Amino acid sequence: MTATDEPKAPGLLDGKFSPTRPLAASGNLFAFALDVIRSLPKRPFQVREFLQQAWFVASVTIIPTALVAIPFGAVIALQLGSLTRQLGAQSFTGSASVLAVLREASPIVTALLIAGAGGSAICADLGARKIRDEIDAMEVLGIDPIQRLVVPRVLASMLVAVLLNGLVSVVGVAGGYFFNVVLQGGTPGAYLASFSALAQVEDFWSGEIKALIFGLIAGIVASYKGLRAGGGPKGVGDAVNQSVVITFLLLFAVNFVITAIYFQLVPPKGQ
Amino acid sequence: MGVAVEVEGLTKSFGSQNIWSDVTLTLPPGEISVLLGPSGTGKSVFLKSLVGLLKPEKGSIVIKDTDIVRTSEHQLYEIRKLFGVLFQDGALFGSMNLFDNIAFPLREHTKKSESEVRSIVLEKMDMVGLQGAEGKLPGEISGGMRKRAGLARALVLDPEIILFDEPDSGLDPVRVAYLNQLIVDLNAQIDATFLIVTHDIGTARTVPDNLGLLFRRNLVMFGPREQLLTSQEPVVRQFLNGRREGPIGMSEEKDVAQVEAEMAALEARGGDTHNGVGPKGASGGDAVPPQLTPTEGLPERKAERRRQERVARMLHDFDEETQRAIRASLPEDLLAQADAGAFTPTRGSGGRHWAAEPDAGPSASTATVVLPRPGGEG
């Protein structure tokens, strides 16, 4: 053993404030995402696990999503109700409300719920398995946890995100209708008739594509953090916390990027 | 027959913290080995390195001509099918009942029909004494049952190497005795290579063929059980006698002067033989108790004769105490051959006491090579 191989004494900070640390962390996350994508086509596909996880993620997100979507739609309806009156464009209330819900509100609500409820549940589940050595045991039994556990979870969260986005759209539009027509005295016919004045089908598809990508990111970040949990039960708590925060940050940033691209690709109606 | 695990110059660090360095040992095929060491010396890290869950920075672990440290991820998953690992708490899948847990590797890796799976699982459950508990969830059973279920799961793929991470932790002495007997019986039945990591001195004294001790980031010693049980190495003696006097401190190493003072005080009291009984099966003195034998009715351990031949080959490498203990365990014919110098010395010993070549067996009685006596042993 040469002198350079001698184990170094632990330093004061031991690399904790190294400027390359965040880079390494994002690199690891990205590498993990690539591993997941590479494992996607591997057979046998875990149909059972996928269905179980889809049901599981749906069951922890559907009710909160619906409950969040109602006030969200209502707030948009209230804001637009007074705004359109100020501008003298009451006839566009319905259309503007649909536009706001489809384009922004429903992907954002989906993002919040898929990260906050779905992602945290996935992360906690995998983290608990990790600290109980279940993941190690699985690897030792010759089974790749990414293929067996992560891929079905990521696909399940993508599927559920797309479905949730549809749910939020419906509930949000219905909530907007209720608040505009019943509480603000708008005319039902005008509200419904103006639906397609500004909004178009592409708005719905953009929301669904956003949701699909949000589901992918939430699933990958939650699995990544869960599989790297360590240091006992506290480690799992920390992992869940970090997974939710990281997913939020990523989702809002990605949401911005996709919206910007969308406006470049799809011209708004009436131009 | 189990396969040999050859570890050479293995070094592992976490960040700047070195766990152990330059660990060299060979787990002889089909034999039971025990690895001892104070808490926090990286015994579990060693086990995880053996199955490729952790990557050591240097050295090699060769199993069936594959170096686990440097092989591809794909190869690693193939090699892992040779392993059965019993984790500390069994590491059962919490969402499945015992039957599904034990059937899991079969369902994932084989195309056996459900009835075949059922018969194999029930056979293994019977082996570890868990009949009738198929439907229980891991959360509903005791720690001892979880361990045995974990063992049954480790056994279903007929592994050639079985690793045990502290099989005795959290069990009462009677259950430990049963588990130890189970380990010896299993070895007799399947002839796999066993490695047990433990703190239990009673287990270390009676179960294994080979003993090793990790301390101060090094493998202090690894060899036939007689070598460690009769060793005069202060660390080994302290550990096997479970006493405070010696180089191992509560948290870190002690300074030399304090150790010397403690040892002098111990000698004044009459040494280890008068030190009484220590915790975890540690007893006074350095007697070599008889090894556990398989339960009546089971086949003999095939590793026993192999080991005797192996030990006879290197008999003259050891110091006198160890030789005396080994001689007591060897059959007449091997003893005669060893004394006649019929065995060529095991090449390149120094922790590695297993000759890969099956030649130069007992039949080569014409060769009378005078064995060199390496001074560094013991």
For residue range A161-212, list pLDDT tens digits in order. 999 999 998 888 888 888 888 877 778 887 788 877 777 888 888 899 999 9
* pLDDT confidence band for A237 (50 / 70 / 90): very high
Residue A149: which of A133, A126, A117 has the closest Cα? A126
At B162 the pLDDT is 93
Asked if B147 has any chain A CB less than 8 Å from its own CB, the reply is no
| Contact yes or no for B53 and A136 at CB 8 A | yes
Chain A residues inside the 8 Å CB shell of B13: 7
* pLDDT confidence band for A84 (50 / 70 / 90): confident
Residue B196 forms beta bridges with which residues?
B34, B164
Q: How far is CA B326 from CA B159, B246, B319, B338, in A?
A: 30, 26, 11, 12
Residue B2 has pLDDT above 70, yes or no: yes
pLDDT one-digit tens code per residue, B86-122: 988 888 998 889 999 999 999 888 888 999 999 999 9
pLDDT one-digit tens code per residue, A238-258: 999 999 999 999 999 999 999
Chain A residues inside the 8 Å CB shell of B108: 141-143, 148
Chain A residues inside the 8 Å CB shell of B22: 1
Residue A51 has pLDDT above 90, yes or no: yes
Chain B residues inside the 8 Å CB shell of A15: 15
Asked if B216 has any chain A CB less than 8 Å from its own CB, the reply is no
pLDDT one-digit tens code per residue, B151-164: 899 988 889 999 99
Q: Regarding predicted confidence, which is higher, B307 or A34?
A: A34
pLDDT one-digit tens code per residue, B335-346: 877 777 766 555
Residue in chain A closest to B158 (alpha carbons) equals A141
Alpha helices in A141-183 (DSSP H): 145, 151-177
At B34 the pLDDT is 93
Of B50, B89, B108, which to mutate for an interface test with A (greatest number of A Cβ within 10 Å)? B108
Domain ranges for chain B: 5-213
At B348 the pLDDT is 46
| Contact yes or no for A136 and B93 at CB 8 A | no
* pLDDT confidence band for B369 (50 / 70 / 90): very low
At B372 the pLDDT is 42
Mean pLDDT of chain B: 81
| Contact yes or no for A1 and B92 at CB 8 A | no
Token pair of B137 as six digits:
């969830």
Q: Identify the CATH homologous superfamily for domain B5-213.
A: P-loop containing nucleotide triphosphate hydrolases (3.40.50.300)
At A232 the pLDDT is 85
Residue A197: which of A106, A109, A90, A78 has the closest Cα? A90
Residue in chain A closest to B156 (alpha carbons) equals A141
Residue in chain B closest to A45 (alpha carbons) equals B108
Asked if A21 has any chain B CB less than 8 Å from its own CB, the reply is no
Chain A residues inside the 8 Å CB shell of B12: none
| Contact yes or no for B108 and A143 at CB 8 A | yes
Of B16, B74, B252, which to mutate for an interface test with A (greatest number of A Cβ within 10 Å)? B16
Chain B residues inside the 8 Å CB shell of A132: 89, 91, 94
Residue B134 Cα, gap to closest chain A Cα (Å): 19
Asked if A9 has any chain B CB less than 8 Å from its own CB, the reply is yes
At B373 the pLDDT is 43
Q: How many CB pairs under 8 A join A and B?
A: 71
Q: pTM (2 decimals)?
A: 0.79
Asked if B253 has any chain A CB less than 8 Å from its own CB, the reply is no
DSSP collapsed to 3 states, chain B: CCCCEEEEEEEEEECCEEEEEEEEEEECCCCEEEEECCCCCCHHHHHHHHCCCCCCCEEEEEECCEECCCCCHHHHHHHHCCEEEECCCCCCCCCCCHHHHHHHHHHHHCCCCHHHHHHHHHHHHHHCCCCCCCCCCHHHCCHHHHHHHHHHHHHCCCCCEEEEECCCCCCCHHHHHHHHHHHHHHHHHHCCEEEEECCCHHHHHHCCCEEEEEECCEEEEEEEHHHHHCCCCHHHHHHHHCCCCCCECCCCECCHHHHHHHHHHHHHHCCHHHCCCCCCCCCCCCCCCCCCCCCCCCCCCHHHHHHHHHHHHCHHHCCHHHHHHHHHHCCHHHHHHHHCCCCCCCCCCCCCCCCCCCCCCCCCCCCCCCCCCCCCCC
* pLDDT confidence band for B362 (50 / 70 / 90): very low
How far apart CA B189 and CA B193 sit, in angstroms, is: 12
| Sign of the Cα pseudo-torsion (B271, B275, B278, B281, in order) | positive
| Contact yes or no for B91 and A128 at CB 8 A | no
Q: Which of residues 105-144 of A touch B (CB under 8 A)?
A: 128-129, 132-134, 136-144
Q: Specify the amino acid at residue A75.
A: V
| Contact yes or no for A133 and B21 at CB 8 A | no
Q: Considering CB atoms only, which of A7, A15, A141 is closest to B18?
A: A7
Asked if A44 has any chain B CB less than 8 Å from its own CB, the reply is no
At A219 the pLDDT is 94
Asked if B86 has any chain A CB less than 8 Å from its own CB, the reply is no
